[in-house]
Amino acid sequence: MDVEPATDPRPPAPRAFGVFAAGRWWHARVRPGTFDAVDPVASLDCSLCQDQILAPIFGIADPRRDKNVDFVGGIRGAAELEKRVREEGWSMAIHLFPTRIEELLAVSDAGLLMPPKSTWFEPKLRSGLFLHAF
């Protein structure tokens, strides 16, 4: 990845991450050719994060069960990520670009499953029962 200092914690585009480490925000961009761009799951930002950061650097093989990784919903924002690092002792926080609907459809069309936490969409639709008069 190419890493540079950032003033905005939000990742600027797909295949880029906002990273809070060493007391500041950085942008990390995935280099072309370092992943399978044809595979709709392997090319998702959450997969790239797992394959290029979490597994090789932190040894996190299963983000669902590993106690060394946690998830913060997008609605809580970058401030919550930064707070967790500063106040709770986490090593770093990674802000992912939102999964795009085109990516979701490509995974579905290929008959594959989305990785953990990649389908966290906000705002949430209201739950309820709808009836049509007949």
Each residue's pLDDT expressed in tens, for the chain with a length of 134 residues: 999 999 999 999 999 999 999 999 999 999 999 999 999 999 999 999 999 999 999 999 998 889 998 888 777 889 999 999 999 989 999 999 988 889 999 999 999 999 876 776 666 666 666 566 66
Q: Which position has the token pair 């639709």?
A: 125
Tokens matching residue 37: 């761009």
pLDDT of residue 98: 87
Q: Does pTM surpass 0.95?
A: no
pLDDT of residue 131: 60
